[in-house]
Each structure stands twice: as C-alpha cells, then as structure tokens.
Chain A
C-alpha cells in the first residue's frame, strides 16, 4: 500500500517535473542585426512555466525583435531557441504555435474585413470542425477568461482591446503554452487592461502557462510580473525579481547620465509662446488643459511615454490640430484661429518625426527641394540659382551629398541636416518631434549647435523626444506628460534623466 502510494506520489512529482521541463523556454546568445544596427546582441534568457515575465526597455531597445524571433516571425542571425531543452528552428509563426509559442503583436495581426469567427478559423487545422462548432468553442473559451466576444461581428468594428482578446483566444485554441504580449496596453481602455491582466494571471497561476509581457511601462510590469528582464540598446542588462524599487529598474533601463555640457542660458524675457489652459481632443486621447510659457531663446522639452499627449500639444502649437479649448499666444499676441499656414507666416517652423513622410519629398533631388521651398511665383524655375543654393547649404551644413543626389539616398543624419538647412532664417519658434532620433552622436551634437545659434538670435524651441538624456541636457525647462495630462513642469538644471525616467514611468 505504502509503496504504491509512494510510487504514485513520485510519478506525480515526476509528471510535474516533466511538464515544467517541457515548457521551459531558453534563448541562447540570440543575435540579430538590421544592416549595421544591432537589434539583439547575444541575448540569453530563461523563462520558466507558471510565471509572468516582464521584458522591459526603452523604445528601440530590441524587445519586439527578440520576441518576434522567439515566436518564429523573424529568424535570428545566430543563437538558438530551446523548448524544454530541445532546439527549435521555427520557419514561421505557425510552426512556433504548433510547438506551443504564441505571440500577440504590437499591431493586431488580423484581417479587419473578416468576421471574428473567420479570423479565429484562419490558419486553424481543419479537424472536421464545423463553423457552428467553432463559434461555440470560441464563445466558451471567451467566457472562461471573462472576454465578451460575438463570433459574427466584423473585426473592424471591434475595439483594440477586443481584437487583442480575439487574438489571445485564437492562440490559446491553437495550443499556446507560452504567450508573448507585445505592449498590449497601448490603446486599450483601463477596464480592458484589468480584464487582460486578470486573464494573464489565470493563465499563469492556474494553467501553468508561461507569460511574457513586453513593455516600457514600469508600473504595469511591477503590477503584474514576477520577474523582469531589462534590455538596453540591444543588450540584456539585467534581470530582477519583482516587485523591486523602481529606481533599480530605471537605472538598468536608462544610461548613466553623461556629464552635461555647460550650456548657455539664453532666455530673453520676451514671451515667445504662451499656452493658457490649452486642450486638444483626438479620437484616441484627450489632452487635459495645459498652461506653459516659453521665452525667446528658451528650450522647452516635452517628456513622456509615447502617446501621453505631448505629441498632440506639439502638433496643436504647429496649427496641425485644432485647439478644443484654451488659448495660444505667440509673442504676446492672442491667436484665436491658429492654423498651419498662419503659423508659417508668423515664423513658426515644424519638423516632423517622419523625415521622409512629412518633411522631405522622396524622389526629388536636393536642388529640386531648394526650388520647392523658394517662394518665387514665376512659371519657370531658376535651376542654376537653386543649384547654387543647394551647393551653399551642402557646404555650410556639411551634408554628405550632391545637389543631384536624391534625398532618400542620404543617410538619416544628412537628411536631418538638409531639413535644417531648408529652415528659413529668423524664426520665432521651432517645433520638433524627435529631432535626433536615429542619428549618431556627431550629427546630434551638430544639430544642437545649430539650434543654439538660432537661440542666440531669439528663436524659441519646443521639442518632443523619447531620449530622456536629450531632454535633460538640451532643455531649459521640462514638461512631463502622462496619460494625457501635464504632470509636472520643472527646471532642467535641477533634473536628471533618472528622475525623468521615474516621472514618466508614473512612479511619482
């Protein structure tokens, strides 16, 4: 009797042990490069079943790349994936799912014109299941995790959160043991987030699945996860059991602050821009009333996680979004009907983040760009003159290129230089989105030198950046945004990038 019980207990133990081994996910020295950019640099991590992991890192740290590799969407240049100790070579996400790894992508990868049921069926093994049976199975599954889904609804009519739920159910029905969720809380309601997190807890605690939450938001990782891996610039820089002090995560996520170069205080006590209880509404986000002042020659940096409202404010200042409340004063004058052409007339320039989408015209040469911005209204273009202008700008702004080069063939840094070259002189205000994103240090410094020269002439600067070092080092004043609200406005001289990291992570 006793021996039999003992044997049963040990087989139980053995089965549990076996199950754990089977679902253990191991990534060994994963390396992935896009051109010269190293997105994943020899990353090794281990995920145990029954736990919820956070994968933290700034934008561009390489989180999505690593997870796309694990889920078979992309192939690594080097390195191996082991599931329960067995090496895997996924040729497609379908194969990964068959092996038990499913991923919810940052953008829901479904077919919007299909019904929910059609999306659920697409890619499922046939297995003699009728559509009606499948619909019933889907509904039952949805109920189990507290999701509310109508199989016959069109997917395009669902909210982002519901599309995620659908995708999650599809992965579970497909046999996923390891579930990866890439930034799932962007664009869903607070209520849907709670439902999602509850279902993730159920999946891990009760069903022993492995969950990986990819995020750059500290507080949600702290709230949900047992353990966090932190990536920075393509490298794994650490792993910590959670919860832990935010400070530890912040110091892993962000670089040490380099000694700040001495910068001149150029505020001239002449008002450049003044915002009084400005409100902006878009379909996705409402910006609560914001009041800010900017003096001539000053730099105001807007910090915040992507989609916290700072971009809306910038676009509203450029006249690209209408104000839904409050007032905007330029140089002390109220501007009730602010719009983009008016902004240009008043000496306001706007540099968008998408250089080739909004600022430059792919397919045109540098000379042609000069002709485009020159404000002559003659029928004929003075090509020799514009060519000369282009040459001048190329030499003064040290652009690596020829007047005949097509703009899209220039490197990002040189495109940005040329954009600056095309800015008119004597501007009152320059508005910039991510002015140095993707640029190397040399180009970055060069661009800020140019901006300093303009500041000396009295130009004020308002910019949005995801690079906290840049914000801390280049601004006079910093405004921190969170969830559509101006959280704080603080002087840059007394703020470090670390503190900023804290603030935008919603810790304070």
Chain B
C-alpha cells in the first residue's frame, strides 16, 4: 500500500465518521445540560429518511437538512417535555422513542427504498487543499465534513469558554446551585436538548445525503447506540468524543482490510474488532484506569506545577454530569 492510498483511506475514514461526530456533539450538549436523549438511534433513522425524502421531493439539499433537523428536534422535545414537564423517566421515554423511530422509518420509507437521490457535492478548499498529506485528508472533502470539524471546535469553545456554556454545564452538574444563581435551569435544558436533537437530525441527513446516500430499511440502524457509547467513553467532551468517532471509523476500515487479507476467517469476527479496540483504547484514556495510574505516582504528581496537573486532570477526567437525568424542583 503506498502513501497516496493510505491518505485516501484516512480521508474516507474522516468522511465516514462525520455524521457520527455531529451526532456525538449533539448528544454531548444535551447530556451536559442534564438531559439524556436515548432516542438517538430512532431519530437518526427517521431524520435520515426525512432528509432524503425532503431533498428528493424539493430538489433542495438545504431543505433536506432542515427537515432532518426538525425531526431530531421534535424527538428531543418529546424527551424533554416528558421528563422536565411530566416528570417521567428520561431513559424510558428515550428508549421507547428509539423503537418508535426505527419502526416508523421502516414503514414510511417503504416507497423510497433504493432510489437514486441528491447528494452533497465535494467541495475542495482552495490553497489549503494543496498542503501535503493534510490537504487531501482534511480539505478535499465536502460541506458535511467541514461542518462536523467546525462543530467540534465550536462546541468545545462554547461549553468551556463562554458564560452561556458555564450555565449549560451548571444545569447538568448542580441544578440547585444553578437555580440559586438565577440560571433558568428548565429553560436551558429544553433549549439544549432540542438543539442537541436537531444536530442528531442533521447527522441523520448526513448519512442519507452524503455518506451512505439514499434510503433503505434500517439504513443507519445501530449508529445511534454507538454514538451514545462514544459520548460516554469520550467523557462528555466534544473533542474526545470526535476522536472516539474517528477511532471507531478507523477500526471499521481496519476490519475491512483485515477481512480482505484473511478471507478464510468469518466476517462476523472482524465486525467485532472495532468494538474490542474501542473498549481497550477508550478504557485507557478514560478516568477509570487513568486515576489509579495517577495515584501510583504521587511524588512526581505533587512536584508537577499546579497548572499542568489541572490540565492533565482535565484531559483524563471523565465523570458524567452529576445531575444527568435528574429532575429539579424549582420552588
């Protein structure tokens, strides 16, 4: 395999991972505010269908993405309303919605199966595309990939560098404290759950209009659950979540290569590879294993400058938002 081939593989891994990255960012935003949107798998499917059909019928890609975002937002709104207003269990509502989205997409999508449709065109960025190695990987892609990469940066910046992000995180970490400081916890939770849901919807359309063009029954089935797992393994950080998504895409590509080299081994065995690798790598970077390792080296740990210590801790820390899924009684 020569280097151009390798670069092409990396480029395609990035493309394949883009919808997952978008979905992970959306879910991270929602969970950071304290709302678990477990309906993701179903809403991805239904929004993939909605995006495809809307773009097909209207001839406008933009309209396709808007329709998909709307479907995702509505799913999230149902979860938010059920838990924040009706005080039902978020996990239960989300799970039922996941099933519902799956069945509904299969039913509604029957007459759109395996049809040719519109797709997002490639868009190479001038100048940048000519940078060796990085250019072909990052800048000879399409709008969806650029959006995904930009989204990671913006989400991180918003969560950890802005006042609004501070309020968002406080609603998910300690809603009582947020409330006493005048943060409108419930309103924020609605807002960010719906925003996160809309991003999940966009991820759905990114599949049907770009990465896996068209529609078939169960088109994206399973990707929602994977995204949920990546959010957790990524420690609720958009950057680590995006890395997790790319890693998942990379191991899938690896599985394909391996399968080609060892045709005598059953395909099913290679399908398990991404999962195994992901668990190993993500266990290594998540706090569960890192914390005891850090505790083993107390002397060096203590001598390190405080600022380093904090940065390292921040990188390795992976605790869920403390009030994830919990309601708040606003008196």
Contacts and interface: CB of A to CB of B under 8 A. Distances in A.
Contact of A93 (B166, B180, B319): B180
B116 to A, nearest CB: 50
25 contacts: A73-B180, A73-B331, A75-B331, A92-B179, A92-B180, A92-B182, A93-B179, A94-B182, A97-B182, A105-B180, A111-B174, A111-B177, A113-B322, A114-B169, A114-B170, A114-B173, A118-B166, A121-B166, A122-B177, A122-B183, A123-B181, A126-B163, A152-B306, A152-B307, A154-B310
Contacts of B313: 154
Contacts of A28: none
A16 interface: no
A332 interface: no
A110 B310 CA distance: 19
A109 interface: yes
A113 B181 CA distance: 16
A258 to B, nearest CB: 37
Interface residues of A, number: 24
Interface string A95-122: 1010000000100011111100010011
A150 B177 CA distance: 21
Contacts, number: 63
Interface in B158-183: 163, 166-167, 169-170, 173-174, 176-183
A74 interface: yes
Given A73-B331, A74-B331, A152-B306, A111 B170 contact: yes
A122 B173 contact: no
A414 B160 CA distance: 51
Contacts of A123: 167, 178, 180-183
B307 A121 contact: no
A109 B177 contact: yes
Interface in B198-220: none
Nearest to B319: A113
A93 B177 CA distance: 10
B331 A94 contact: no
User: Which 5 A-B pairs rank lowest in CB-CB distance, beginning with the nearest?
Assistant: A123-B181, A94-B182, A93-B180, A109-B177, A111-B174
Contact of A113 (B173, B179, B307): B173
Nearest to B167: A122
Contacts of A105: 180
A93 B331 contact: no
A94 B174 contact: no
Contacts of A73: 180, 331
B295 to A, nearest CB: 15
Nearest to B182: A94
Counting chain B CB atoms within 10 Å of each CB, the highest count among A105, A111, A123, A126 belongs to: A111
A93 to B, nearest CB: 4
B181 A93 contact: yes
A122 B181 contact: yes
Contacts of B180: 73, 92-94, 105, 109, 123
Contacts of B183: 122-123
B166 to A, nearest CB: 5
A277 B213 CA distance: 78
A109 B182 contact: no
Given A122-B170, A123-B178, 4 more contacts: A92-B182, A93-B181, A122-B167, A122-B183
A96 B310 CA distance: 35
Given A75-B331, A122-B166, A152-B307, A110 B174 contact: yes
A340 B177 CA distance: 38
A73 B169 CA distance: 21
A297 to B, nearest CB: 47
A75 B331 CA distance: 8
A92 B180 CA distance: 7
A113 B32 CA distance: 12
A109 B177 CA distance: 5
B227 to A, nearest CB: 24
Interface string B293-331: 000000000000011001001000001001000000001
Counting chain A CB atoms within 10 Å of each CB, the highest count among B174, B181, B313 belongs to: B181
Interface in A171-215: none
Interface in B249-265: none
Contacts of B177: 109-111, 122
Given A118-B166, A121-B166, A93 B182 contact: yes
Contacts of A153: 306
Interface in A56-103: 73-75, 92-95, 97
A93 B170 CA distance: 16
A144 B310 CA distance: 27
A68 to B, nearest CB: 9
Contacts of A122: 166-167, 170, 177-178, 181, 183
Contacts of B331: 73-75
Counting chain A CB atoms within 10 Å of each CB, the highest count among B163, B173, B180 belongs to: B180
A103 B179 CA distance: 13
Contacts of B166: 114, 118, 121-122
B106 to A, nearest CB: 38
A75 B310 CA distance: 40
Contact of A109 (B163, B174, B310, B322): B174
Nearest to B179: A92
A434 B301 CA distance: 45
Contacts of A111: 169-170, 173-174, 177-178
Contacts of A112: 173-174, 322
Given A73-B331, A114-B170, A122-B166, A152 B182 contact: no
Contacts of B176: 109
A139 to B, nearest CB: 15
